[in-house]
Amino acid sequence: MTVTKHQKDATTTFIGAPPGERHGSTADEVRSHYDLSNEFFRLWQDPTQTYSCAYFEREDMTLEEAQMAKVDLALGKLGLQPGMTLLDIGCGWGSTIMRAVDKYDVNVIGLTLSHNQLAHIEQRFAESNSPRSKEVRLQPWEEFDEPVDRIVSIGAFEHFGFEKYADYFKKTYELMPDDGVMLLHTIVSTSKEEVAELGLPTTMSLMRFFRFIVTEIYPGGRIPLIKMVEDRAVEAGFHVTRKQRLRPHYARTLDTWAANLQANKDEAIAITSEEVYERYLKYLTGCADLFRVGYTDVCNSPAKKCNYGEVATHGRRDNGDGPDAAALRRNPSPLRPLRRLLRALPRPVPHLQLRVLRPRRHDAGRSQMAKIDLALDKLDLEPGMTLLDVGCGWGALMKRGLERYDVNVIGLTLSRNQYAYCQSLLDQTDTRRSHLVCLQGWEQFDQPVDRIVSIEAFEAFGKSRYAAFFDTAHRVLPADGRMVIETIFTHPINYWREHGIAITLNDMKFTRFIGREIFPGGQLPSDQDMFEFSSDAGFSTEELQLMNAHYVRTLDTWAANLVAHRDEAIAATSEEVYDRYMRYITGCADFFRRGISEVAQFTFAKES
């Protein structure tokens, strides 16, 4: 087979792309795509006209819901606070900046090269009731030179060109304050080595399709390698804390766009032409195949401007009144007597030996699976790795690891009920990977694993064992090991005072009740405990994602389920147990709603 120079150039644009002669798309080339017709794009995009990979957090999501979930995923990693200024580089039709204004109460500046997008966003701004500053400019990022607090760029990086990457990261670094965070969402190419390792063929039709994309759809477009992006970011002074891959989500997005375009074929041709319709259908269906097979991927990655000893903040404060990670580290004061009371708070699982009542209403199963995926995605799992689940509960996370991530799993539990249930659940799972459930504590575990996860078990360890736990985790993990711990934690007294949170006598009685009657011996860590004990053992804290609003909703749902099954619950246990658990669940929901306690996922990486 003879491969022409043009075909080689097109292939390297997508697979293992080296720096080329092109300096990215020109303004006219960008406009040739995005200024085609707002009405045409509206036929097959969602109502918000979000023209990038959606995030199907749940299987039953509509395209519009998944696009908004993607926007929330990106904005949630920025640590936005009311009154900040957010810069959106390549703002499209404005869905991200409008969401930022409406949900996060920030000022926004959007940059676009498209006249059509500019007019559309200006109209949306005119319809907004927000008092915040809203501005959209027909301006390239190279010419922007004003200070901002946060930066987001979704689906624009592909137009910049390899030679401009260093300038881009230098520019964005200089625009932000010392605690600045940038979220970059971009398509990335698979390296030649990865293509060979995966056994993906490089065919003539594939090369022709690449050539078609860079000449007829995105003239001048270039797709980077992940390493290329990360290297340029680090050189500029950023710390790329997480690379969340969304490849299957983009395949589904493109499939949906193609189906929408086909359903509106006649109208699409009337607006543009049959040639344009056929060209875009070829583009959408062909790109869906690229993502489905693995030639291309898409990454949603936050980069924090920081000293490498600092903790990077990503998770948003869902109920709007909590600290970011940096603020948490500035509050090392002990909690004294009240802290001892508040260390006895619950874990969000049914009590160890209590019979599990299966809900028929208010089913939160999909939300729990989304939480599990959220944790597992942070571990950068690869097929064949071994994952240790400390405090594995009833095995949902282990099962997910086997089925979705194709990893070997080991679970540790101290509950005989959970042990038996997990064994049965995993034995019924169709997988080629190994699974092992151990009725033992983490103290007795001493075999090597690749990744560790612990969801709501840390509260049972006790502060006297924190150092031993992190030392054990560090010992069994490899040099590139990662660990995610989801735990409830406490704050210093001065935090509640500063945030106007009143602690009453009833609150103290309730914490006593939890410590004696629900989780005897339970002890919550402080935020400072998590940072200090992990650091002493040789871990860096890469991410802190706060999830209070989600826990409030979880507890409210559990309470509603228990009320719906009142008679069955009493028959299974007693009225006293029913009343006790109702008090526990509703009282804890109130604590999280008021901000007395917090829940978060901490992501740790072994320091080299």
534-562: pLDDT as tens digits: 998 999 988 888 888 888 888 899 899 99
Q: In the beta sheet, which residues pair with residue 245?
A: 299
pLDDT value of position 549: 80
pLDDT of residue 447: 92
3 state SS of 481: coil
Between CA 186 and CA 240 the distance in angstroms is: 14
Give pLDDT, residue 75: 93
Task: Give the H/E segment covering residue 293.
Answer: helix 274-293
- pLDDT tens digits, residue range 88-141? 999 999 999 999 999 999 999 999 998 989 999 999 999 999 999 999 999 999
Structure token pair of residue 206: 């594939």
Nearest to 217 by CA among 286, 149, 273: 286
Confidence (pLDDT) at 453:
98
Q: What's 429's DSSP letter?
A: S
Spell out the domains of the chain, with CATH numbers in brackets.
Answer: 5-304 (3.40.50.150), 325-606 (3.40.50.150)
- CA distances to 5, 330, 409 from 337, in Å: 74, 21, 40
Q: Which residues are catalytic?
A: 287
pTM flag (> 0.75): no
pLDDT of residue 10: 38
Nearest Cα neighbor of 379 from 319, 315, 287, 452 is: 452
E-strand spans in 100-217? Answer: 107-112, 134-138, 150-154, 181-189
Task: Give the span between the Cα atoms of 449 and 443, in whole angstroms.
Answer: 15
How many H-runs (helices) and E-runs (strands) does the chain carry?
A: 25, 15
pLDDT at 391: 95
For the chain, list residues with pLDDT below 50.
1-23, 307-364
